[in-house]
């Protein structure tokens, strides 16, 4: 059965590259602090976010709201709702939907607050090791048209994370302990255990790519 994420993978085929497959991520860990564009080891940056154990963790930047439009597939009501803040969201990584040498994971944000809010654009994302050091460059953005998605409490939106299977691409790899997901226009990230095994970390055409948010979970 072809999932919605499979369609995203088809668009990014041959343009994108870089556990346990087929499982969702563990409960996320909210990271207070200020996220910055995650490039390389940010464990010593003044603006890096902190994990709840007191250690410093790299964080990626959220996307800006630029030229977006309202999605006809928005979920929930309240056209005047403000954007969803990191503290109001729960993050998870959906099951891999591989195809044609491509690895495809949905990054899912669920409204865990008691109010309706909106998501609009791309997520920020960064792979990190157990110490919080970033592994590899920031994922690049696939071409897309951001659309404002209205999330009632309990509803979800997802963005596709795709990369070529490292065994196919021959890219240098590392196995992350977690992925940091930053909601659009936010500075704080959500930390989710990474279930997908090795990812490409060389700064070339094998890097990972992200799509804009869509309604649902990508399953």
- pLDDT by residue (tens digit) across 130-156? 999 999 888 999 988 899 999 999 999
Answer yes or no: are the C-beta atoms of 175 and 20 closer than 8 Å.
no
Cα separation, 13 vs 32, whole angstroms: 35
- Cα atoms found within 13 Å of the Cα of residue 6, Cβ hemisphere only: 8
Question: What integer pLDDT is reported at residue 206 of this predicted model?
Answer: 66
Cα separation, 58 vs 40, whole angstroms: 9
On average, the pLDDT of the chain sits at: 73
- pLDDT by residue (tens digit) across 178-206? 999 999 999 999 999 999 999 988 766 66
Answer yes or no: are the C-beta atoms of 70 and 135 closer than 8 Å.
no
At residue 24, does pLDDT exceed 70?
A: no
Cα separation, 3 vs 140, whole angstroms: 22
């Amino acid at each position: 059965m072809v999932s919605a994420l499979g369609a995203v993978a088809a668009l990014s085929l041959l343009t994108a590259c870089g556990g346990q497959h087929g499982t969702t991520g563990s409960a996320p860990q909210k990271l207070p602090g200020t996220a910055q564009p995650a490039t390389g080891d940010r464990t010593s940056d003044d603006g890096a976010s902190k994990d709840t154990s007191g250690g410093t963790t790299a964080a990626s930047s959220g996307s800006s709201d630029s030229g977006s439009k309202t999605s006809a597939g928005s979920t929930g009501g309240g056209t005047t709702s403000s954007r969803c803040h990191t503290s109001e969201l729960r993050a998870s990584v959906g099951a891999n939907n591989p195809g044609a040498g491509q690895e495809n994971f949905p990054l899912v944000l669920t409204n865990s607050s008691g109010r309706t809010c909106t998501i609009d654009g791309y997520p920020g994302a960064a792979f990190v090791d157990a110490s919080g050091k970033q592994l590899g460059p920031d994922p690049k953005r696939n071409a897309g048209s951001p659309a404002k998605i209205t999330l009632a409490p309990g509803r979800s939106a997802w963005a596709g994370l795709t990369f070529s299977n490292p065994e196919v691409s021959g890219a240098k790899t590392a196995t992350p302990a977690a992925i940091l997901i930053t909601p659009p226009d936010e500075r704080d990230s959500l930390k989710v255990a990474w279930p997908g095994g090795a990812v490409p970390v060389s700064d070339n055409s094998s890097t990972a790519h992200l799509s804009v948010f869509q309604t649902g979970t990508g399953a």
